[in-house]
Chain A
Amino acid sequence: MNIAMFYLLSAIILVFSILTVTSRKILRAAVYLLFVLIGTSGIYFQLNYEFLAAVQLTLYAGGIVVLIIFSILLTHHIDHKFERPALFNLLGGIAVAAVGVGAVLYTVFDHRFVPSAAPAVDVNMTVIGEQLLGMDKNGYVLPFELISILLLAALIGAVVIAKKGKETEEL
């Protein structure tokens, strides 16, 4: 059951990620991206990382995709269709991707991963909170604070950039 579910999720992820980059209608590409993100969160659920899956669903599927669709509607007509990409670009992109997949998969299958037999730590909210704000060996308080400042700075920067200034109105 789990195994069938995993292969179904991987099929969803692969098919919809290919559709995301090949679809010629941009709104459809955004919806395909949403399916990819939901499939990814399904994989996190299968690996028993429920908190991560919930974060993936709310932040990615709920936040970023909505932001992308919002900006699409601000900048495109809904029935806008792209022209086909230039043949040189198309062949170049596919060649780069094929070479990359070959090289990475060769390296991965060349390496022997040894699954650990250590007992899995129970990932509940208490453990996550204590480690995220802890200062001992397994503490992540410094990256947590860094990410908070980064988030604040980026959001203020986004507001400042997107604000319509006086110079812009003249153009």
Chain B
Amino acid sequence: MIEGIPIYHFLVVSTIMFFVGVCGFIIRRNLITMLMAVELILNSVNINFVVFNRYLYPDQLQGHFFTLFIVAVAATEAAVAIALIINIYRRFKNIEVQNVSEMKY
């Protein structure tokens, strides 16, 4: 832990980051920007895991490992999402959400 910084300051940062991500997910209408908002959300949760691990349970490593697993899940999610986005772009020639209202062809 960092001496002199209470755990609340980390939590404020990650909370604001999480809801900036939620806000971006709602207001943006583009698949790639929505994907970036999801990455923001996952990262803020990662910060929470790591900080709880370091401040409250420094003798164990649960938060550390769950952050590793979340990073792996985020990587797979990004790979699948980008494959889908590129496929949608091939079919519809753009990736705005309101133009992609059907999934089957």
Contact residues of A with B, CB < 8 Å? 2-3, 6, 10, 13-14, 17-18, 20-22, 26, 29-30, 33, 36-37, 40, 43-44, 46-49, 52, 55-56, 59-60, 63-64, 67-68, 70-72, 74-76, 82, 85, 89-90, 92-94, 96-98, 100-101, 104-105, 108-109, 113-116, 118-121, 123, 127-128, 131-132, 138, 140, 143, 147, 150-151, 154-155, 157-159, 161-162, 164, 167-168, 171
B54 and A47 form a contact (CB under 8 A): yes
Chain A residue contacts of B64, Cβ below 8 A:
49, 52, 123, 128
B91 and A171 form a contact (CB under 8 A): yes
A36 and B61 form a contact (CB under 8 A): no
Q: Across the A-B interface, how many residue pairs have beta carbons closer than 8 Å?
A: 237
Closest to A91 in B: B27
B interface size (C-beta, 8 A): 75
A26 and B30 form a contact (CB under 8 A): yes
A14 and B33 form a contact (CB under 8 A): no
Closest to A89 in B: B27
Chain A residue contacts of B33, Cβ below 8 A:
21, 26, 29
| CA–CA, A158 and B81, complex, Å | 8
| CA–CA, A131 and B4, complex, Å | 30
Q: How far is the CB of A134 from chain B (nearest CB, A)?
A: 11
Cβ-defined partner of A171 (8 Å) among B40, B80, B105? B105
Closest to B55 in A: A115
Shortest beta-carbon contacts, A-B, top 7: A21-B24, A154-B76, A93-B26, A97-B23, A120-B58, A162-B83, A158-B83
